[in-house]
Amino acid sequence: MSKIKNIEILELGEKGREISSPWSSTILLVKLTSEDGLIGWGECPTTLMTMPVKESMNEVKRIFQDADFYNVERNVKEFYKHSFYLSKSMEATSALSAFEIASWDLIGKSYGAPIYDLLGGKFNDDIRAYANGWYSNCVTPEDFVAKAKKVVATGLDAMKFDPFGNNFDKLTREGLKNAENIVGALRNEFGDKVDLLIECHGRFSTRYALEAGKALEKYNPFFMEEPVHPELEFGLAEVKRNVKIPIALGERLLNKIDFARFISTGLVDVIQPDITNSLGVLEGKKIAAIAESFGVQVAFHNAFGPIQTAATLNVDTTLPNFLIQESFEEFWPDWKKNLLTVGYTLKNGKFTLSGKPGLGIEVNEKITKDYAVDGMEPFVPNEPPWVVSGTYK
């Protein structure tokens, strides 16, 4: 009774909400139902590719329909065999990741155990979180400090932010000075009590990434994320050699082999796989094991919805080399906050899983009906979808 009987692909969003950031707009879910009525949920990302990913989910569906959900590795490799461009297609890997996650949800429910128990059990009881999405409409240092105080008041003691405004590829003198002033103001306000994580969004060519890194070293950032355009691996090596800030990246890498290349060549200090685009739970565990072999820590990327978060936390719980977990939870729109009726909690800066079988969640299916949408996510011409709204100025 372990075959997948029914597959539903769902797109959710808030009609009329013209904000393109994926953490506040659309999400894509898959709902797998087994022969004996168990339900497994998975999620995949949408960043200006909602419709291509949704169509890719229909391709993956053809492999998983009537498949045995216990055979996670076999089912993933079966799609790999058919999907000629999988290793280079984030649309395909994202779609496949959602089905992989949902399969683990079914497996856990069938055994009556949380996924982390099936992956080696608990290593970490407390999952430290850092805030993201908190700095909407922040432009000046004063804006950032005012919003950051509200974040710290919730119990979070680490926050990630992009201080570079609308600089792209190049970094003007004014842009660099403003970034220094923002980071400096936050460090002066909180001292060493709060960790500051610098987000570059892969926006800079090598010269300007070096300038940014050297200017911000003195503020002792926790890490600097994606300092150069993702294809500039030689430039990344130069930044790594010359900037005394730990380098983090990984949300655009698609499998363990991609990660192995960056890890083994010393290009990265912290890896940030995304469970929803790098082939799911089991691949995430394998990536973390490769990183552990080289003394590299793991801080999973997590920018979309609560099903992604639940899947990610299940892996975090098992990792000796876990570092910190990204969280947008406090800054989601209400419909996304209410998508789960049972799940994890975030309190005083720490995540705790429910301990229930599978992902440990129950989905509010009224939300899946009330917020069903069909089509591309919002598009804001003067603001890329990867920035926090109101900051690209």
Q: So which residues are the catalytic ones?
A: 201, 301
Asked whether 15 and 373 are in contact (CB, 8 A), the reply is: yes
Amino acid at 323: L
Q: At what angle do helices 306-316 and 281-293 cross, to 10 degrees?
A: 40
* Token pair recorded at residue 48: 């200006």
CA dihedral of 235, 385, 325, 248, whole degrees rounded to 10: 0
The answer to whether 314 touches 354, Cβ cutoff 8 Å, is: no
Distances (CA, A) of 318 to 248, 351, 378: 21, 14, 37
How many Cα atoms occupy the beta-carbon half-sphere of 284 within 13 Å? 34
Contacts of 25 (CB under 8 A, 6+ apart): 13, 14, 17, 19, 46, 377, 378
Cβ contact 271:325 at 8 Å: no
